[in-house]
Structure 1
Amino acid sequence: MFVLTIDQRGSRRHGDKVPELLAALAGVDTVLPFERSVGDEVQAALVDPGAVVEAAMRVLRLKDWYVGVGVGLAELPLPASSREASGSAFVAAREAVEAAKKAGDRVPLRVRTGDAAGSADARGQAGAGGGPGVWAAASEAVLVLVGDVVRSRSEAEWRVLDALDAAPGAAQKDIAAQLGITPQAVSRAIRRSGRHEERNGRRAAELLLSQIVGGGR
């Protein structure tokens, strides 16, 4: 199981942004929904690696949050709320978000594994065949790279990408007409945004995360 623990950066200066974050995370597939756990912190439990990547990128786009991804077990049966849940995945997520707070100017996302994944630390194993810790470190590296692409986009680039996502398969000339810009500007925004690189990086991150709980053992 995956647990995301997300903590707000500079809440005393910027006020409570939890409602904005929860709105941004609406629709992400979870087994325990995103909700305020305590203060300005949000938590959820997930089983789909793709959903983990999607949630992480939505959070990093907002630039106001530390992201901790924990991988491990949860005590069963699951309660209705993540606030009442426990297990190694939740412990690992707590360790991960605390590590993310030490990222400085780098992308504030970290991945850690719990006992269920066979490692107490995402960087703790480096055997020839790899192990959960190795897969977690690799997952973190890719998520940080993709997150840097997402965090670096301009508002103009996001306008184009959001319009493309809202109209799958639409021609660039139609997006240009909708936004009141030229088709060349749309093409330029797509190229500069790293859209294709993000898609490839997301797939790589999903595969790596799946190895922690499955094939990497």
Structure 2
Amino acid sequence: MFVLTIDQARSRSSADRIPELLDLLAAVPTVLPWERSVGDEAQGVVADAAAAVDAVLLCLRAGGWYIGIGIGEVEQPYPRSPREARGSAFVAARHAVERAKKTGERAPLAVEASDAGGPAAAEAEGVLALLGRHVLERSEAEWRIIDLLQPGKRGTQTAVARTLGISPQAVSKAAARAAWHEEHAVRPAAARLLAWADADR
């Protein structure tokens, strides 16, 4: 099980963004829903590793969030709210989000496993940090293009070029600069490492 604890950066000098975060993550499937946990922080419990990757990359794109992924147990029966839940995954997520605040120039995320899943958790963190670097560096112009691209579909770059009134070459160059193809190739690997860390506990 994966607990994501997400803390707002610079919350003392900026407006409350938790409602914005909950809207952003609403489509990501959970076992226990995304909720404000305390103050400027939100939590959710996710069973699917790919959903955890999706949530991380959404938060990185939005910017201004510290993201901790905790891998471990969530005690059953599950309550209605993550605020009422207990288990080692919550402890790991707390450690992870505190470490995410100290990543410096790197993507502000960390992954912690409660038991023996440490090596795979560290590898998952490394892959997510590399993905996060590309997400953080993308321009608004690049996002306009890659948001319209569809992985694995032939002719998608030509269709996007026609939609935006630009050349297919411009679309291709933007996708290359943004490492869009690499992101979609690597997302499953990040999810697989998270799943291995969960299975190894």
TM tier relative to shorter chain = over 0.9
Among 169, 173, 178, the alignment partner of 2:158 is: 173
Q: How many residues end up aligned between the 2 structures? A: 200
Contact 1:75–1:85 (Cα < 8 Å) also in 2: yes
Residue in 2 that maps onto 1:72? 72
Q: Following the alignment from structure 1 to structure 2, what is the Cα–Cα distance between the partners of residues 18 and 195?
A: 28
For residues 31-90 of structure 1, what are the alpha-carbon distances to aligned partners after superposition, in whole Å with 9 as ceiling and x for unaligned? 011111111111000110100111101111112100000000011111111011111000
Among 161, 182, 191, the alignment partner of 1:206 is: 191
Q: How far 1:174 sits from its partner (Å)?
A: 2.1
Residue in 2 that maps onto 1:110? 110
Q: Following the alignment from structure 1 to structure 2, what is the Cα–Cα distance between the partners of residues 93 and 177?
A: 44
Residue in 1 that maps onto 2:98? 98
Higher RCO, 1 vs 2 (CA within 8 Å, ≥6 residues apart): 2
Q: Following the alignment from structure 1 to structure 2, what is the Cα–Cα distance between the partners of residues 171 and 165?
A: 6
Tell me, what secondary structure is at the counterpart of 1:3? Answer: strand
For residues 150-204 of structure 1, what are the alpha-carbon distances to aligned partners after superposition, in whole Å with 9 as ceiling and x for unaligned? 11111111001112259x6663222122222222211111111101111122111
Residue in 1 that maps onto 2:179? 194
Residue in 1 that maps onto 2:48? 48
Instruction: State, as a whole percentage, how many aligned pairs show the same letter.
Output: 53
Q: Following the alignment from structure 2 to structure 1, what is the Cα–Cα distance between the partners of residues 2 and 156?
A: 37
5+ residue gaps in structure 1? 119-130
Residue in 2 that maps onto 1:139? 124
Tell me, what secondary structure is at the counterpart of 1:163? Answer: coil
Q: Give every structure 1 segment of 4 or more consecutive aligned residues whose post-TM-superposition deviation is greater than 3 Å.
A: none
Residue in 2 that maps onto 1:13? 13
Contact 1:143–1:201 (Cα < 8 Å) also in 2: no
Q: Following the alignment from structure 1 to structure 2, what is the Cα–Cα distance between the partners of residues 111 and 50?
A: 14
Does residue 161 in structure 1 map to residue 146 in structure 2?
Answer: yes
Q: How far 1:18 sits from its partner (Å)?
A: 1.3
Query: For structure 1, which segment, 194-203 or 1-10, has the greater mean C-alpha deviation from structure 2 after superposition?
Result: 194-203
Q: Following the alignment from structure 1 to structure 2, what is the Cα–Cα distance between the partners of residues 171 and 85?
A: 44
The AA in structure 2 aligned to 1:161 is: I
Tell me, what secondary structure is at the counterpart of 2:148? Answer: helix
5+ residue gaps in structure 2? none
Q: Following the alignment from structure 2 to structure 1, what is the Cα–Cα distance between the partners of residues 167 and 72?
A: 48
Q: Following the alignment from structure 1 to structure 2, what is the Cα–Cα distance between the partners of residues 145 and 174?
A: 29
Tell me, what secondary structure is at the counterpart of 1:164? Answer: coil
Contact 1:2–1:47 (Cα < 8 Å) also in 2: yes
Contact 1:66–1:109 (Cα < 8 Å) also in 2: yes
